[in-house]
Structure 1
Amino acid sequence: MDKRSLLKKELENSPYNKIYLDRNLKVLYLNSNAKKYFNNKKYKDLYSICADVELKDFAGEEYEVKYDKLIETFEINEPFAVHQYIRIRGKIYDFNIYSLQDSGINIAIVINFFDVTSKVENDILGSNELLQSIIALKASLDVSNKIKEKYRVNMNQFNKLMSNVSVGYILYDETYNIIFSSNRVYEILDFNGDSIYTWFDFNNRKSEDYRVNTMLADYISKGKELNGYQLEVNKNDIKKIIEIYISYTTDESGKSNAIITFKDVTKDTEIKAVKEENKKYINDVLNNIDIPILVIDCNDSDIIFSNYKMKEEFGVFEGNLKKYSVPEMIPYYSKALQTREKCCCDQIKYENRYKKIFFYPCIGKNEEVSVMYVHTIDITDEVIRFNEKERLQDIRNSYFSMISHELRTPLTVIYSSLQLIDTLYSDSINDKFDSILKTINSNSRRLMRLVNNVLDMSKIDAGYLVINKENIEVVSFIEELVDSIISFSKSKNINIIFDTNIEELYISIDSEKLERVILNILSNAVKFTPSGKSIFVNLFIDIKMSKIYISIKDEGVGIEEEKLPLIFNQYVEVSKGKKEMEGTGLGLAIVKKFVEAMGGKIEVSSVYGSGTTFNISLGFEKCPEDDDMIQRGVYDQISRKVKVEFSVIE
């Protein structure tokens, strides 16, 4: 891995402020956090950075950067690491300076630093070790004036250290005398001079706040600890909130000492109050929304918020999610937790109502799902309407199916009789009677077409659609279908043009359904194409992919764009332009079902005023050429079906 890649990897994986230096302490790179910290200033080297930023040690003294030592250590090519607390602009930073190596060679110096002010101060607040050192130091300083002078420098250093800590301390001996107080106490409580000794002198009953004085004295006299008592101090019309802690320690001689710690939490309290106010406002808003809302802590699946509507409808309060009687929610909650994506339970039934539940995972800073937002909507009315629609659809289908079955038998007899009359007695029928018979014949075919469509759709809805494959030569089969409607197209002065990329192919397919599909689309094309225009039927066969592509394009009036999505719906007759042709609206719905049942796909495109194109794609299985294969004669085998399908054009 080269230097650039290594540095980039190190950079991208760090959430902290990072500075990269070369062997001469020149800046190689600052990561985005460091750039933000330095307000996007451009630095040439470490010297310019240190000149711009005032560095102090933990005690608050000026910090000396040993540049030469750093360069010398780098040149040795040994890995090194330095850890220190440094103060910058009143805050404490954890500084880690270490070498970045590649193949045992130092290639860069990395300075990694981050703010630890709160952590350090909280650690100091919760520990007696520092106070133990105070006691030990004070004890040693009290030995004699000579020793006091000897340790004067150390004490000054110690006071500087304590002045840089945001909490204040008062140390009492066992007789309630103050043996040490940090300067921060004066700042926190706004004391001047010796007032602190008056205010916190537990032997003086005339202290400025006798109530607080008595309480603290009571705690200390009984050796009780105090943890976070909040005292409100008003001075010069300025309100402060002071947090007070009492703890105890023992010096080397066995004497007990009380430590009172003061922390100014005014800002924290104000921020907390604002947060509580905002939280109350948000809770009020959520509780007044007429939608059940839930917030779940994903660490332990505990409910941390449930609005009034959720409690009212589901009885879900606080506690673990699994204890509530909505088990259908659990799998979707788990799925949203695992996928880290929005998840939806489309429908559950709860106490005779139907609900739809949404789960929204919230990703935290550690890139893990921290909380889950859940809300539900009531879809009972929607479900009832849908079920009622389905019920009415079933009734309608059953009714149409029954009527169609009852009609088909007499219709078949009538139609067959008409064909027989036309065949046997055509010469003996006068013109007037012949016209009447043609009208009866035409309307019989229309009624037969209607009955066939209704029965086919009933079979499809009932799940009785069966694919019956047979071996055919598909090119001539489709060409014969096109030729069979020429008489109808000529009657309207419409040209039909057929084209194919292959002249012969034997396949196994459901020829009856393929025939119905092509004839139905062709009948629509002829129906809606004006005189003098053309219809194009293109057959493209992809042998390698075992696919048949059939395109039927007309130059008719076209279909309006907003009506295209409805074209394959049941009982929908999309009128084209100003032409209103009769129909049930079942033909194209059946066509789509047939194509899909054969494993194919059908699509429609149209430009209103220019025409419509239907594209069909079907898979196929090749079969061997068979001399005994039934060749379908156009006029002998499908003429009757064509007349029925094209009855609406007559």
Structure 2
Amino acid sequence: MKSKQTIGTLIAANGLILLTLFMLFGLSYFFAFVAQRFGNEYLLESNGASTVVMAGLSALMLFFYASYTKKAYFSVLAFSFFFGSIIEYSNRFFLIDGRISSIFLGFYLIMLIMLIFTMSAAFSYNEVIRINMKVMVWSILVILIAFTVLNYYVFKNAVVFQDSSLMVFELMMLATVPLLGGWYYHTFFTKKNVMNLSVYYTSLLYFSAVFTESLAVQFSDTRLFFVSDRLMLFTYSTFLVFVPVAFYRIIKEKDALIIKTNELKQSLFMFFKSAEYNENITVFVNSKYEILYANAKYKQFFNHYRKYLDSYLSGYIREKYEVIKYNMNYSASMKLEMEGKQYILDVDVVYLEQDTEEIFCITAKDITVIRAMQESLERSEYKYRSFFNLIPDFIFLYDIGKNRVIEANDMVYNDFKNIPNSRFVRNPMEERFMGLSYRELSEIGNKIQYGEILKLDILKVKDQKGQDVYVEPNFRLISVEKDKWQMLVFLRNVTNSVKLHELRIENEANLRKLYIAAENEKMFNEFFANMSHELRTPINVILSALDMMEISGFDAEKGEKYAGLIRHNSYRLQRIVSNILDITKVDSGFYKLNMHNYDIITFTEDTVMSILHYAENKGLKIIFDTEVEEHIVQFDLPSMERVLLNLLSNAIKFTKDGGTIFVNLTMDEEAGKIFIDVKDTGIGIAPENVDTIFDRFIQVNKSTTRDNEGTGIGLSIVKKLMNLMGGDCVVESQLHVGTTFRLVLPDERIPGESDASSIIDFYEKTTNRVDIEFSDLQTSDR
């Protein structure tokens, strides 16, 4: 608002000046028009001599003003005014006519440079530059006089540049006059009084007069000649009006100053009276640094009772003189050393201008202790700030009342760059920072007790690069002022620990995979070694039997014996190949079941009776027992028979002569399950091998010289086939006591299907099924 008022005032001031200028132009032109209209053209004749006379009177008035105000540059202006009128009387150097004198051009450039330097120097507080400025002002007068002499007496026939295009350059040269005048008046250091306004106004009048005369020459207009002549007369008679007005204003200001001086004396009396008991140093001095007044604190502090001001303060005023005088007061701190001790004073100097005397009112306060405390506090703050920023974790301060983050350490700014500004968010409380919303932070702050440290679970946040950072949040409430709380949020960076834990878990998983892979490789190697043995044995027997048949000449009696060996070992090969193919189908999902309703009691009993002679040949007893006589359930007949035959085959193989095999069928109506238990009194299974007995290619005795043969996939097929039919197979065993395999079958049937009677047909079509399954009766899967 202040800048708008200043611009408005500037426009209004210039508008008023231009308005008066246009009024003078208009009135002069109107007078010339009327005189010409009524035939009084003698009134329009030029009177250049009167212009010089007016310039001399104006210069005289300027000398009076310069002498009274002691402003030397007004004396220079007076001389310039007078000599300029003489030059203008006989020559129109600024006339825009396409002709420029070489000597005037050089004079103009020198004067322009010196005027610009002089005006610029006025902005500086440097004493040397200001002294040079005074020299420059008087140099301008010397150059003006030298130009007058050289122009009239030395270079009478100077070179003149003539061209119509020079008229633009002449207009620019003429325009510098009002521009310099306006610059002088509108600069901040120029007082906006009547005399300074007159300088600006005169420059505008001069520009208007010369420009009008140039137009009159171009158009040969008598009226314009008259207007330009009147404007030139007004130009050189301006100060005859402005100087008396300026003196009037000075007299009024003097009267007001006298009144203010009396008031000041009364105020100073009260000030001196109170300053005696003031803790601050107070001293008044004049421009010669003579002490006009000094309180007791000054005398005590400096131990100074002499006439002139102490050297420390006098040197300070001498150094800052220009700034103090211009600003009327100045405040700063100064350091000084007295009696080997360092002191810091907060000095304030007020400049007073009393008539022709300058007075400096100096007040100073000893802030040595305060500054020492401030420096100590700053060092402590810097130390704790450094410690705060060196912590390799994320720390920020949350203002609960303002709901925003007010401070954070360098780790936050380095990894997350910016802190959210809730002012630009539609819902500020939902703004998230470091994985927590402002709403959550406020709720935690309102819930936590003073002095309590609250810890939360580890959070995962993303830094500015999009990388995951794991932090462990800790919160503590801090009391800043009464009823004003802030919360210190300490997010411990646990990224390395979490990543190390993840690597450890991954490494353990890889080790387990490596161990499993090694075990699988070992298992496969053992399986293939065993498989080669299992395949080679029946093939060798078959080849040997064929050789013996040839040797015997295909004797009928011996041929029957060798044919039986070939058939038995062919069954063994068929069983091995079938097991490998079936387990591959099951694992790949290509094994198909043909589920129908069958009598599970009849099926189990017939299967047990079909292998009875195998048990009796080994001296074993088989006992079958059931709770019911008939029960229909659904199952796949070939798969179920294969499962039961496999378990019976293993029971016979691993039960010694005189042992007993129990086959029990029970039902659990509540659970909807049917259980078929195959229990033997054989060698049993060691506890460490029970959990892996159903794994593929696993055998309890893996040597190729064991008592019983086997591929190690029979029980794996049993488990998988039972699972396909919705059931299961579990085992319980005790070493050297016996083993029990339990088949679990769902007590379910296919709705709407009649009881199947194809069991007999199945037995008739597959008469050799038992022989194939029991072909390795002397071998084992355990």
TM over 0.5: no
Higher percent of residues as strand: 1
Q: TM-score, normalised by structure 2?
A: 0.35
Q: TM-score, normalised by structure 1?
A: 0.41
Higher percent of residues as helix: 2
